[in-house]
Chains A and B, each alone.
Chain A
Amino acid sequence: MTLFGELIAFIVFVLFCMKFVWPPLNNAIEARQQKISDGLAAGERAEKDLQLAQAKIADELKEAKAQAAEIIAQAKKRAEDSVEEGKKRGEQERENIIAAGQAEVQAERNRLREELRKQVAMLAIAGAEKIIEREIDKNAHSDIVEKLVAEL
């Protein structure tokens, strides 16, 4: 009889275990295994992403540095150019100013010479008038005087 009792108990225990004990435990274990493997895969992926990002950063940094160097070089060149240009322009200006001055001086000299000539002519005429006053009619000889003045 003990045999049958134990047999029934055995069957009941196994059925209980099969229905209520094994599935939840096994499910939990399998679900956790899945989760862990997912987590590991995600970690690996993240690491790969990180490496990619770092490579990208390095690339961009290099590019930025190159760009900066280029900009600096350009700026330097432009500064040099503008200094050169300024110098050139200054020189031009100086030449212009000098030329203008010279022209002015020339014009003044011409004017003065003209004036001087006129005055000399006047003086000559006055002298001549005084000399010739008595002998010559002023009106009769004015054309000769004028010709003289023009020749001076």
Chain B
Amino acid sequence: MAAEELTLQSHIQHHLTNAKMCNTEAGIAFNKACSEAGFWTWHIDTLAWSIGLGIIFLMIFRSAAKKATVGVPGKLQCFIEMIVEFVAGNVRDTFHGKSKLIAPLALTIFVWVFLMNLMDLIPVDFLPAFAGWVGATFFGMNSHDVYMKIVPTTDINMTAALAIGVFMLMIGYNIRIKGVVGFIKELTLHPFSSSNLFVQILLIPFNLLLEVIALVAKPFSLALRLFGNLYAGELIFILIGAIGLFQLPLHFIWAVFHILVIVLQAFVFMMLTIVYLSMASSESH
């Protein structure tokens, strides 16, 4: 085991640190060597888990889709169809335009985020300890230097990537539906407008400031809401895991509560995506 003393703080720190990979002058480096790399670091655990979960999601759904029959559906197809119908219903209720993208987008977000959140329910020490054991046994590393954060949505990069994707779509829809000029008009001539041309020009900076803040706040709120919920949840799991024998009832209660949270957060992310895109593609302001 590690030579250094394992304090509660270092334990938590360890759990909340991503496995990193970066390019340094000496070549590809890992973990602590990457502390200088800043933004240009790959969080390989986040990437691996999220992409792995995404591929699992797509494989399951693709296999159901390939075998989809109009007749009596199998159990898997039934289950998948329930999810699809749920998402489709939400999209229909909220998004009043025609788009082939929105529904699959919502489905992807919902299921993918849900699966990533679901990793939160795996007991906090299992996979990091296993990774540490693998690192120590096969690569001769200090097991405390092996980092493994298994819930991708507790990484701000993950949630921010999702939010940026949605943000780009929002801008895309704005421009597609209203045109570049229409979009700019919407950013500059609302909410304060005047019939006096001079006053109108004076108002443009204020309008622009307000509208841009309102626009940019959307992806921020998306990213930070998901990240904050899951990060806090994970942190509490770790704290509960650190208190010894009495963790069992506490852990159970928190896990049951968290089942609600992970579904809710996935749903909220999906719903807000639909709502934002619906707002972006509606003509009236």
Contacts and interface: CB of A to CB of B under 8 A. Distances in A.
Interface of A: 1-7, 9-11, 13-14, 16-18, 20-29, 31-32, 35
Interface stretch (B105-113, B124-132, B171-179, B202-210): B105-113
A29 B92 CA distance: 15
A2 B157 contact: yes
Given A14-B105, A17-B104, A24 B58 contact: no
Contacts of A23: 65
Contacts of B101: 14, 18
Interface of B: 18, 22, 39-43, 46-47, 50-51, 54, 57-58, 61-62, 64-66, 68-71, 73, 77, 80-81, 84-85, 88, 100-101, 103-105, 107-108, 112, 152, 155, 157-158, 160-162, 164-165
B51 A2 contact: no
A22 B88 CA distance: 10
B89 to A, nearest CB: 11
Contact of B108 (A2, A17, A31): A17
B70 A7 contact: no
A7 B165 contact: yes
Contact of B61 (A5, A14, A21, A27): A21
A23 B22 CA distance: 39
Given A3-B164, A6-B161, A24-B66, A14 B51 contact: no
Contact of A13 (B40, B43, B84, B112): B112
Contact of B88 (A3, A13, A17, A26): A26
A25 B58 contact: no
A23 B65 CA distance: 8
Contacts of B105: 14, 17-18
B108 A13 contact: yes
A29 B107 CA distance: 15
Given A22-B107, A25-B68, 17 more contacts: A1-B40, A2-B42, A6-B152, A9-B51, A10-B108, A13-B112, A14-B105, A17-B107, A22-B65, A23-B65, A25-B61, A25-B81, A25-B84, A26-B88, A27-B68, A28-B68, A35-B70
Nearest to B112: A13
Nearest to A24: B65
B144 to A, nearest CB: 22
B157 A28 contact: no
Contacts of A6: 46-47, 50, 152, 157-158, 161-162
A110 to B, nearest CB: 111
Nearest to A6: B161
A8 to B, nearest CB: 9
Contact of B162 (A5, A10, A16, A22): A10
Contacts of A16: 58, 62
Given A17-B58, A25-B61, A25-B64, A2 B165 contact: no
A29 B80 CA distance: 11
B104 A22 contact: yes
Contact of A26 (B39, B43, B71, B84): B84
A24 B39 CA distance: 40
A18 B164 contact: no
Contacts of A13: 54, 57-58, 108, 112
B41 A1 contact: yes
Nearest to B162: A10
B74 to A, nearest CB: 11
Contact of A28 (B43, B51, B69, B162): B69
A9 B84 CA distance: 21
B80 A10 contact: no
A104 to B, nearest CB: 101
5 contacts: A5-B161, A7-B161, A17-B61, A32-B71, A35-B70
Nearest to B65: A24
Nearest to A5: B47
A25 to B, nearest CB: 5
Contacts of B161: 2-7, 9-10
A13 B81 CA distance: 19
